[in-house]
Copies of this chain bind each other. A is one copy, B any other.
Amino acid sequence: MGTFKVKVLYDFQAEPGTAEMNINAGDTLTVTRTDVGEGWWEGFNSSKQSGLFPEAYVERISASNPPSIPAPVLPPQNNWGDDDEDDDWDNDDTMYSEIGSNNGQSQQNIYSNEQSLSQNQLANQFDNMSLGGVSTISDNKGTITKKSINIFSSYVKSGLEGYILGTSANLPVSNKKFRIYRDGDDSLGKWEVISNPYTVQIASPKKATKMGGLKSFIAYQLTPSFSNVEVSRRYKHFDWLHDRLTSKFNVIAIPPLPDKQVSGRYEEQFIEHRRAQLQEFINYMCRHPVLSTCDVWVHFLSCTDEKQWKLGKRNAERDQMVGANFCMSIDAPDKEILTSLAEPRIEDSVYYVLKLDQSIKNLMHTAQDQHKKCVNMYKREFMRIGESFFALGSAFEYNQQGMYSKASIDIKNVGSTYMMIGKLYEEQAKMDWQPLFDKLYIYKGITGSLPDILNLQKLSEQKKKECERNSQVPQTALADVRRRADVLTYTVFAELDHFQSERDTDLRQSVKTFLQEQLNFYRNVVAKLEDTLGKFD
């Protein structure tokens, strides 16, 4: 595969007397070997010192930035890399094709409309407005894929300008369905709690076939607690949904879907794992005060009728309350936000989200690494221990007088026990490291989206200030600009607050569950050793 460059994420101290090398966070390394095994890579640093270092401690540096020219539109079937079979609803095929290939087109139209709307009496005064902030929007690998294909800049796509300047279409006040409140003088906003909380269970999927078994696909059965009506959804439906959600929301962090995977997607283990990953996605959605009640999601969860499905899809695709315009549907506190209060908190949040993002990625790498080690290395180590004892016990079998040897039986038992423990390690990884990884994957997607959201708030403030400095903007218009900027700021803080509360309950609960599973595992090891020791007497 040749060499490639990586950035060091964390310091690593080499074990003296080994082939390992010290690496420091921020260094750039050239990787020369990735097949060392057991999580090690080989490479050299800028001083040409070479050695081994943990793969989990570095991050590949992309060969190039996202292209600034339009990416070629891929044929629709290839867009659904995960699901290249025909749709289960045959009539939907054309509709899905529209989503696959023409969706970009319809998005363009939306933004084009906004563009033309924003060419109003104020907009030309912002022609020279700095868009420098846009380039600092972090590259969220979890959800950026589709975004980067869009030919419009994040800034334009955000609809921020139209929203702040009030040139986007306005909603009737009755449509302000998402309420934000303050629970204290210090509070800068919280989402109103979900009035009718619900859950959605995704059942172990089965491989279904159609056209007399010629075509097969995986359908997941979703049962929302609010209806108790099962709906059948395929990965490509999730993917369409995710695409809609990320198009619509840029002030709300959307949890990531599991990665697309082409090979092995009909294997039982893969399917069951994907089900668990989709359940994590669903859980985050259900717990989010905005996402859990937004139309496209409710449609996704409840529609069983073909015609209704088409209609809902068309509505979703025509939705104009996208990007910053979504703030128009928010019922935020009236109180004006002081920049002196909000600004340092935004700055702190930038730092804190970055720190969280790093530590989540770090633990994810550890979880992935340990998962791999449980299945391979630890299992092998314990198998080897077991085999060594077993071989000794077998050698004891023979004795001078051909007599039964208790020692041989005992030592062979020890061997069998360690081999069993080896197998336990392999099974265990599915119980602790994998669910932890899946949970962290969701949060990595969220922490990866938050910098975009924080940046949007900064751009909104910037735009507001430019209006304030501009003497041609009438005072009445200015009050509206301020109000709209405040609503966006309230939304951003409500979103930060929600994230923090999720982190403190949901992520903490996952760590607790992880610990319980680890405890079960070690208790199991203890029980096995006790049992074996008992046989000695």
Contact = CB atoms under 8 A, between A and B. Distances in A.
Interface of A: 15, 17-20, 33, 35-38, 52, 186-188, 345, 348-349, 351-352, 355-356, 358-360, 362-363, 365-366, 370, 373, 376, 380-381, 384-385, 388-389, 391-392, 394-396, 398-401, 405-407, 410-411, 414, 493, 496-497, 500, 503-505, 507-508, 511-512, 515-516, 518-519, 522-523, 525-526, 529-530, 532-533, 536
A370 B381 contact: yes
A388 B9 CA distance: 13
A457 to B, nearest CB: 14
Given A37-B20, A362-B391, A373-B381, A522 B525 contact: yes
Given A363-B389, A400-B493, A504 B407 contact: yes
Given A351-B398, A519-B530, 18 more contacts: A17-B35, A186-B401, A356-B395, A356-B396, A359-B395, A362-B391, A363-B392, A366-B385, A370-B385, A399-B504, A400-B496, A400-B500, A407-B507, A407-B508, A512-B536, A518-B529, A519-B529, A522-B526
A345 B356 CA distance: 71
B522 A529 contact: yes
Contacts of A389: 363, 511
A274 B529 CA distance: 29
Contacts of A493: 400
A88 to B, nearest CB: 35
Given A363-B388, A529-B519, A355 B407 contact: no
Contact of A391 (B15, B352, B363): B363
Contact of A400 (B18, B20, B345, B362): B345
Contacts of A349: 400
A400 B187 CA distance: 9
18 contacts: A15-B37, A18-B36, A18-B37, A186-B401, A349-B400, A351-B398, A356-B392, A356-B395, A359-B392, A359-B394, A362-B392, A363-B388, A363-B391, A373-B381, A400-B496, A407-B504, A411-B511, A515-B536
- Report the copy number of this chain in the oligomer: 2
A395 B355 contact: yes
Nearest to A410: B508
Given A15-B380, A363-B391, A363-B392, A504 B405 contact: yes
Given A52-B37, A388-B362, A401-B187, A533 B504 contact: no
Nearest to A189: B400
Nearest to A57: B384
B522 A395 contact: no
Contacts of A525: 522
Contacts of A391: 358-359, 362-363
A386 to B, nearest CB: 10
A401 B493 CA distance: 11
Contacts of A497: 400
Nearest to A190: B400
Contact of A33 (B15, B19, B381): B19
Contacts of A348: 398
Given A376-B15, A381-B370, A400-B497, A392 B37 contact: no
A351 B398 CA distance: 10
A37 B515 CA distance: 30
A186 to B, nearest CB: 6
B359 A414 contact: no
Given A37-B52, A401-B187, A414-B515, A392 B533 contact: no
A356 B391 CA distance: 9
Nearest to A504: B407
B526 A519 contact: yes
A9 B533 CA distance: 30
Contacts of A345: 400
B15 A410 contact: no
A525 B521 CA distance: 11
Contacts of A505: 407
A389 B436 CA distance: 11
A449 B381 CA distance: 31
Contacts of A188: 400
Contacts of A406: 504, 508
A398 B352 contact: yes
A395 B352 contact: yes
